[in-house]
Amino acid sequence: MQKHTQNVSKEYSKAIEDGAKTIVANTGKGKFAGYERSDVDQVSEDMLQYSFGCGNPLAFSQVQPGQTVLDLGCGAGLDLLLAAQKVGKDGRVIGVDINEDMLELAAKNCQEHPQIELRQGVIENLPVESNSIDWVISNCVINLSEDKQSAFNEIARVLKPGGKMLVSDIVGENIPAWARYSGAVKAACAGGVISESQYLEGLEKAGLTGGNVLARQYYDANQIATIVSDAAPTFLSKLRCCGNNILHSLLTRIVRPVAQNIWSAKISASLAQP
């Protein structure tokens, strides 16, 4: 496994250890933007607390009963549970994540749903059979990869012909170098982003067709500052002597140049029928 991936995984273990607050990307429409109230009302507190998504990848999907859904970087399992409701008892939902602590949370949260299976692995080399998946979903994960093309290639490999990918992910342009080099900002899904056009090009190169941006959610500097501070408690604890409010306003100023250039996009693509 790449050192970078190990570092990202460590940041998520630290986030769990520190009891990080939910950082499902806040887009001004509430904490769980993109989800129905009924989606989040039914799940456990710790699943909400440790959800780190940036949208609801299933929102525009037409997942049918009996189908197989694969969630890349499933985290604590919110989207696994929602997918399980859609595929029903005869379907399958597979969650892959690199982080053992996340998988432990997901196992606890999904234990009453036998159609959900968890596998430890990386999205750049999926522990999943080729040509076996109807829907690949992912929520705020591919941006974290240093080898996004391998992740795109893997999506194309595991999808059945006619299968679809629907991901919520952070994309952006002209991200300042300081944001790119901070491991904590990267782990908060801001530092490793590529642009929408690079995303779509990567999907096409992998052999996926019809790449499209279905929706966008924008952040203001205040929201990004919250995402960064929630995602990186250990990094920020070094600055806490200044007081949290001062810290937050400082962070808000620092991230302002990033805010206009970064957003959450819901991106779809398909594997064509032969």
Ligand X SMILES: C[S@@+](CC[C@H](N)C(=O)[O-])C[C@H]1O[C@@H](n2cnc3c(N)ncnc32)[C@H](O)[C@@H]1O
Shorter beta-carbon distance to ligand X: residue 26 or 65: 26
Q: How far is the CB of 157 from ligand X (least distance, A)?
A: 15
CB of 93 to ligand X, least distance (A): 13
The sign one gets for the Cα dihedral 137, 74, 108, 229 is negative
* Residue whose entry in the numeric block shows the structure tokens 């991901």: 167
CA 181 to chain centre: 20
Q: Which candidate, 166, 199, 179, 185, places its Cα nearest to that of 60?
A: 166
Interface residue with ligand X, options 34, 61, 73, 219 (CB under 6 A):
73
Determine the Cα–Cα distance for residues 99 and 89; give it in Å rounded to an integer.
27
Smaller CB separation from ligand X, 70 or 243:
70
User: Which of 116, 141, 225, 267 lies at the binding interface for ligand X (CB under 6 A)?
Assistant: 141
Say whether residue 217 binds ligand X (CB under 6 A): no
Q: Kindly state the smallest distance separating residue 203's Cβ from ligand X, in Å.
A: 17
User: Which region, left, alpha or beta, applies to residue 34 given φ > 0 means left and ψ of -120 to 50 means alpha?
Assistant: left
Which residue in the block uniquely carries the two structure tokens 């076996």? 132
Instruction: List the one residue from 33, 165, 171, 189 that touches ligand X (CB under 6 A).
Output: 189
Token readout for 122 is 């990386």
- Sign of the CA dihedral running 154, 23, 188, 179: positive
- Establish if 26 lies at the interface with ligand X (CB under 6 A): no
Per DSSP, helices labelled H in the chain are: 3-17, 37-41, 45-49, 78-87, 100-109, 148-158, 177-181, 183-187, 196-205, 221-231, 233-237, 244-259
51 lines the binding site for ligand X (CB under 6 A):
yes
| Amino acid identity at 126 | L
153 binds ligand X (CB under 6 A): no
Under the binding rule (CB under 6 A), the answer on residue 140 touching ligand X is: yes
Our finding on whether 229 is near ligand X (CB under 6 A) is: no
Kindly write out the interface string for residues 110-129 of this chain, putting x where it contacts ligand X by CB under 6 A and - elsewhere: ------------xxx-----
Query: Could you say which DSSP state residue 20 is in?
Result: P
When binding is defined by CB under 6 A, the residue of 5, 27, 68, 217 that contacts ligand X is 5
Report the run of H or E that residue 255 belongs to, with start and end: helix 244-259
- Among the listed residues 144, 221, 225, 251, the single contact to ligand X using CB under 6 A: 144
Q: Which is nearer to ligand X, 21 or 210 (CB)?
A: 21
* 3-class secondary-structure state, position 271: coil
| Cα→Cα distances 128→84, 100, 137, Å | 18, 18, 14
By beta-carbon proximity to ligand X, the closer residue of 110 and 144 is 144
| Contact flag: residue 233 with ligand X (CB under 6 A) | no
The verdict on 97 binding ligand X (CB under 6 A) reads yes
In the bound state with ligand X, the residue whose beta carbon lies nearer, of 200 and 231, is: 231
The two beta strands, 262-270 and 209-218, are antiparallel
Residue with tokens 């607390």: 49
Q: Does 8 bind ligand X (CB under 6 A)?
A: yes
Q: Which residues bind ligand X (CB under 6 A)?
A: 5, 8-9, 12, 51-53, 73-76, 78-79, 97-99, 102, 122-124, 139-141, 144-145, 189
